[in-house]
Amino acid sequence: MRALLIEDDEGVCQFLIKGFKEEGWEVEVAKDGKTGLDLATEGTFHVIVLDLLLPGMNGIEVLKGIREEGIKTPVVILTALDEKTQIVQGLDSGADDYLVKPFYFTELMARIRAILRRGEPVGRSVLQVADLRLDPVRRKVERGGRPIDLTPKEFSLLEYFMRNPGRVLTRVMILEHVFDYHFDSMTNLVDVHVYRLRNKVDRGFSRQLIRTVKGVGYVLEE
């Protein structure tokens, strides 16, 4: 299970990370609204925990951006704002629940479990570029109707490409979004994984979808 935490308070972040990990969850964190929206649209999560008072883009703007992208991942607002009008605005903007700080982690998890029992779909629907299809919920990939078996990292890499069709992705961008490397490294990690992914996605097909942009990075396009 994966949770996206969009929260700028370091103390709250560490408290939530510890709690989620003790429950067996993986957690990704964004400290500002723009980064949170980017992660929400690029990754697959089972729940998003969202503060409203964020630097730059506020939580309501982030929430509206998530829903406008067609992402149905459950969102729980976790904030100090407790006015009824704010609660109504949050729920009307697409939140599945609203919890006011201070809070009990056990209550937060109970609310998340209740939401997940409703069977809400996670993330977007199936992604498709040409005859290549990726289902982020069932973790399945096929091309021309033929199943393709990918490792977890290859799947994440392909998903990142397919959420950005026609966009040139630099090696640094891929390192940060897929491998969580937040520095400019000379590693050939990206090139090795793209090479392996190409062998599985493009080999045997007349149309090559993953293309090298010399000196820059890679792009997936029809």
Check which CATH number belongs to the domain holding 139 and give it.
Answer: 1.10.10.10
Q: For residue 41, tell me if it sits in a domain.
A: yes
Could you say which of 49, 82, 117 is where a domain stops? 117
Q: Say if CB 140 and CB 150 are below 8 A apart.
A: no
Enclosing domain of residue 200: 127-220
Whether the per-residue pLDDT at 25 is higher than 90: the answer is no
- In this structure, the answer to whether residues 6 and 96 fall within a common structural domain is yes
How many beta carbons lie within 10 A of that of residue 166, not counting itself? 9
Using the 8-state DSSP alphabet, how is residue 75 labeled? E
Whether the per-residue pLDDT at 181 is higher than 80: the answer is no
CA-based nearest residue to 121, from 135, 102, 107: 135
The pLDDT-based confidence of 135 (bands split at 50, 70, 90) is confident
The pLDDT-based confidence of 71 (bands split at 50, 70, 90) is confident
Q: What total number of domains does the chain contain?
A: 2
- Dihedral of alpha carbons 20, 141, 66, 112, sign: negative
Q: For residue 66, tell me if it sits in a domain.
A: yes
Gap between the Cα atoms of 210 and 203, Å rounded: 11
- In this structure, the answer to whether residues 113 and 166 fall within a common structural domain is no
Q: What is the mean pLDDT of residues 49-65?
A: 92
pLDDT reported for residue 119: 63
Q: For residue 122, tell me if it sits in a domain.
A: no
Mean pLDDT of the residues in the chain: 87
- In this structure, the answer to whether residues 94 and 140 fall within a common structural domain is no
Q: What is the mean pLDDT of residues 69-74?
A: 87
CA-based nearest residue to 47, from 6, 107, 104, 92: 6
pLDDT reported for residue 124: 54
Q: For residue 179, tell me if it sits in a domain.
A: yes
Whether the per-residue pLDDT at 215 is higher than 90: the answer is no
- In this structure, the answer to whether residues 211 and 140 fall within a common structural domain is yes
Q: Say if CB 36 and CB 58 are below 8 A apart.
A: no
Q: For residue 22, tell me if it sits in a domain.
A: yes
Report the DSSP pairing between strands 210-213 and 146-148. unpaired
CA-based nearest residue to 166, from 211, 205, 204, 127: 211
pLDDT reported for residue 184: 55
- In this structure, the answer to whether residues 32 and 99 fall within a common structural domain is yes
DSSP E strand stretches across 22-96: 26-30, 47-50, 75-79
Whether the per-residue pLDDT at 141 is higher than 90: the answer is yes
Gap between the Cα atoms of 20 and 12, Å rounded: 12
- In this structure, the answer to whether residues 38 and 100 fall within a common structural domain is yes
pLDDT reported for residue 182: 57
| SS3 call for 26 | strand
pLDDT reported for residue 122: 53
pLDDT reported for residue 198: 95
